[in-house]
Amino acid sequence: MKQVLITLVALLCLLLPQSRAQDYQTALGMRIGPYYGLTFKHFLAETSALELILITRSRGAGFTGLYEIHRPLLDVSGLRAYGGIGGHVNVFRYRPKNDSPWNWDNDQEGDGLVLGDAYRMQIGMDMLLGVEYKIEDFPFNLSLDWKPALNLIGDQGLSADQVAISIRFVFEE
- Please state the rounded mean pLDDT for residues 126-150: 95
What value, to the nearest 5°, has the Cα angle with vertex 16 and ends 54 and 128? 30
Is 127's pLDDT higher than 60?
Answer: yes
What class is the 2-90+121-171 domain? mainly beta
Average pLDDT along the chain: 80
Helices (H) and strands (E) in the chain, counts: 1, 12
- 62 or 172, greater pLDDT: 62
